[in-house]
Every structure is written in C-alpha cells, then in structure tokens.
C-alpha cells in the first residue's frame, strides 16, 4: 500500500491554480482512486507554499456564464477531495489563501507549519468565498470564528491553527510534508471500506439524526460482512496490529 503525493506546482505564482492545473489534479486523484495500491493522498504545494488560490488571470476575463461553468468544473475536484473513497491530508507551508484555503479544508486532515498563514482573502476582490469554504470552514472553527475569517478577512497563523481546529497537526517550518506523510501512512493502514463510508457520511453535512442512523445501519451492516471486519476481530483477539486489504 502506498501514499500518493499530489503537488500544486506553479511556484512562480505561489501555486495559484488555473482550470488546466486543476484538471490535472483531478486526473491524478482519479488515477489514485482507481489504483488499489494507493490507500491515501497528501496534497501539498511546491516552493515552500501551499496555494494562493485561483490565478487572477482566470478571473479577469470571466463573465457571469463562464464563472458559473468554471466553478462547476472546479467543484468536481472539491467533491473528490471531500467525498472520495480515500483519505487526503493537506500539507500546508507558506500560504493557504482564498481558494487555496478551500482546497486545504476540503481535505480530511490538515498539517500546518507553524509559520503558515491561512486567510480567506475573498472580500479583497469583492467576492464571496467559494470552492466549498462556506461549508468546510464553519465545520472546523465554528460559526463565530468562521464569520470573522470570511467577513473581516482575519488571518490565522499556523501556530494558532491547531488550537482553533483549523488544522489537525502542527509541524516545524519546512516539515509539513514529512509530518503529513506520517499521518497519511497511518491512514493508509486503516480499513479502506470503513474509511470510504465514513468520508461519505461526513461529506453529507449536518444531516438529521434519523438520516444518519438510517445510513449507519445500512453501511455498518455491509462492513460486518467484510474480510476486513473478520481480520480486525482476529487481530484484536490475537493482540496484534490488523492488516486490512479493502475486502
């Protein structure tokens, strides 16, 4: 089993993305999802920073129609990160700004370098947050802190991010990728089907209790019929680490 590292690689633009670079990221995600050897992903950026959001060149010539179409295309990647069957860890150095913050928070877990900066930045452009940030940010930091970040553009440093729930793991400057790989390897050892069902439930948002219980009954019943469940029980009985294969 392996961890696939996905790198946003436009360092001259602080990894600001274009439609083409997001299409390439989506293709890499789909390849990894289809590869049984890949059990987890790490999403990172090159050149010491995570992502400065969308390249302004994409926005400058946009129309109402093209913006709607472009967002629908980009939403495909957000959905894949948030609800795809395999876990994703974001490794954040430098800046996660605007839609770059949206991408980081679409991942399951976030590793933040202590000197990283998280910022919405959308109000500076006369825009509202997009790529799912209005869904993901309040879930992480609560409604009040989310409003301050979304409406007042308050930045959060990496050394504070873990304390408020914006990130899950702290890393020394320059060590976010290494720490994220350690976390991803732990995720890669978890039962794949259980991870997939859990991600799908979490991506469903704030469902009512009855809806959650109905889905839980269906999914958990299926998991009880898997070889991974039998392996987990046997490993627990034998006091050893389980070895899951997704069946």
* pLDDT band for position 101 (cuts 50, 70, 90): very high
- Check: CATH 1.10.12 for 192-237? yes
Could you tell me the pTM of the whole model?
A: 0.93
pLDDT reported for residue 206? 65
56, pLDDT greater than 90: no
In the chain, residues under CATH classification 1.10.12 are: 192-237
Instruction: Record the tokens describing residue 108, joined without a space.
Output: 């399951």
pLDDT reported for residue 217? 83
Rounded to 5 degrees, what are φ and ψ at 35?
-95, 115
For 224-236, the pLDDT digits (tens) are 788 888 887 788 7
* pLDDT band for position 137 (cuts 50, 70, 90): very high
For 174-226, the pLDDT digits (tens) are 999 999 999 999 999 999 999 999 999 898 866 676 777 787 788 888 887 88
3-state DSSP: the chain helix, strand, coil percent, rounded to 5? 55, 15, 30
For 62-86, the pLDDT digits (tens) are 788 988 898 999 999 999 999 999 9
pLDDT reported for residue 155? 97
Q: What percent of the chain lies above the pLDDT cut of 90? A: 73
pLDDT reported for residue 247? 82
- Check: CATH 3.90.226.10 for 2-188? yes
Pairing of strands 156-157, 117-119: antiparallel
- Mean pLDDT value across the chain: 93
Q: For the chain, give the number of residues.
A: 247
| Torsion, CA 176, CA 89, CA 31, CA 75, rounded to 10 | -110
In the chain, residues under CATH classification 3.90.226.10 are: 2-188
């Amino acid at each position: 089993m392996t961890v696939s590292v996905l790198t946003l690689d436009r360092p001259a633009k602080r990894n600001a993305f274009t439609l083409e670079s997001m299409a390439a990221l989506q293709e890499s995600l789909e390849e990894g999802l289809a590869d049984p050897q890949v059990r987890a992903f790490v999403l990172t950026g090159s050149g010491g920073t995570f992502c400065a959001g969308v390249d302004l060149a994409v926005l400058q010539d946009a129309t109402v129609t093209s913006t709607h179409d472009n967002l629908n295309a980009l939403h495909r990647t957000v959905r894949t990160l948030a609800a795809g069957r395999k876990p994703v860890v974001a490794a954040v150095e430098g800046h996660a700004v605007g839609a770059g913050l949206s991408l980081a928070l679409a991942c399951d877990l976030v590793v933040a370098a202590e000197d990283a900066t998280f910022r919405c930045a959308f109000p500076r452009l006369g825009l509202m947050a997009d790529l799912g940030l209005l869904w993901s940010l309040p879930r992480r930091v609560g409604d009040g802190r989310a409003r301050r970040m979304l409406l007042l553009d308050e930045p959060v440093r990496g050394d504070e991010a873990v304390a408020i729930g914006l990130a899950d793991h702290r890393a020394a400057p320059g060590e976010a990728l290494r720490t994220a790989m350690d976390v991803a390897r732990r995720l890669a050892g978890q039962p794949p089907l259980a991870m997939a069902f859990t991600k799908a439930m979490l991506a469903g948002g704030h469902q009512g209790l009855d809806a959650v219980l109905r889905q839980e009954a269906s999914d958990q019943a299926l998991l009880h019929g898997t070889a991974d469940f039998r392996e987990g029980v046997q490993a627990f009985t034998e006091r050893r680490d389980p070895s899951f294969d997704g069946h």
